Amino acid sequence: MIEKITPETYEKMNEEFIEEGTMVRIEIPTQEQIDNHRNNTEDIHSRTVEPKDMVAQLWVDHRKQQMQQIQDAADELGYTIRTVYLKDSYGKERHQIVLERDNSN
């Protein structure tokens, strides 16, 4: 059987903390606050925002920065960048960056 929680329950807990020398005190709620909390059916652990993989985002940002540096260097040296897609020995598609000399000049 579950004992009814009342403001006195919190008062007793605070008294025990004082007797034990524990440096914790609980704010004593009203009976209405206790009842509202216990009757609340909302799942407070449900997600309201989709989680983000921050490490994956850092890699995306890093790759963009790397590609911009390669593009800047290629532009400066008169090369164009072409991306070639290949399958590795495991059958997974990979991309390879190919620099081609711009011979139109």
pLDDT digits (tens, 9 = 90+) for 60-88: 999 999 999 999 999 999 999 988 888 88
Per the structure, the count of domains in the chain is 2
Tell me which residue of 26, 30, 33, 32 sits closest to 12, measured CA to CA.
26
Domain assignment present for residue 44? The answer is no
Q: What is the per-residue pLDDT across 1-42, written as a single tens digit (0 to 9) for each?
A: 677 899 999 999 999 999 999 999 999 999 999 999 888 888
H or E element, residue 50 = none
Domain assignment present for residue 11? The answer is yes
Q: pTM of the full predicted structure?
A: 0.44
* Same domain flag for 61 and 34: no
H or E element, residue 75 = helix 54-77
Burial class (CB in 10 A: 0-12, 13-18, 19+), 24: exposed
Domain assignment present for residue 94? The answer is yes
The residue segments making up the domain with residue 22 are: 7-39
Domain assignment present for residue 96? The answer is yes
Domain assignment present for residue 48? The answer is no
Domain assignment present for residue 24? The answer is yes
Domain assignment present for residue 61? The answer is yes
Domain assignment present for residue 71? The answer is yes
Does residue 98 contact residue 82 with C-beta atoms inside 8 Å?
yes
